[in-house]
Amino acid sequence: MADKNPQTRLDARYSAAEATATDWSEAEARLTGAELFWISTVRPDGRPHVTPLPAVWADGALHFCTGPEERKAKNVADNPHVVLTTGTSTWNKGYDLVVEGEAVRVTDEERLRELAAAWEAKYGSFWHFEVRDGAFHHGGGHAFVFSVAPGTVFGFGKGEPFSQTRWRFT
């Protein structure tokens, strides 16, 4: 679970003179509302792997799911360090967020039921999951669920004033 009051710092090197640090509550609201994230993991040979996915912000962490045979699940099994990004693909407007942390598998079925309900509430009935055997089940397949409590988050305000805020968690 993420610290409710992370250390917040505006990086003046990458911010306009009139920029101010973004409040963590605003970043959390953006993480909650974002529909698409990009996850970066590391393959066993050290090459990066990046793919889009939906994710849910709940209880101070981002949560994603993936089939156990998918590349990202295999990568996380070897190296739990991940980066999840979200934002807008524009240069001069919007806000981007980069979340760095370790992916930890969630297997507690009560917690998984809470997360399944959060997925469906956010993304609709297509994302309805049954929970059993420590995983999400949908159709003929199943997916592992991972929680990523942030270690560091970077926020990039685009457009005037440009800004870069860093939040560090304990």
What is the per-residue pLDDT for 140? 85
3-state secondary structure of 9: strand
The residue count for the chain: 170
Matching residue, tokens 């996915």: 53
Pairwise CA distance, residues 164 & 20, whole Å: 9
Rounded (10°) CA dihedral 150, 79, 11, 62: -30
Walk me through the domains of the chain, giving residue ranges and CATH numbers.
7-168 (2.30.110.10)
Pairwise CA distance, residues 30 & 145, whole Å: 21
Confidence of residue 5 (pLDDT cuts 50, 70, 90): confident
pLDDT at 3 over 80: no
Q: Tell me the two tokens of residue 157.
A: 């305000």
Look up the pTM and report it: 0.95
What is the per-residue pLDDT for 73? 98
Q: What is the pLDDT of residues 106-155, one digit of tens each?
A: 999 999 999 999 999 999 999 999 999 999 999 889 999 999 999 999 99
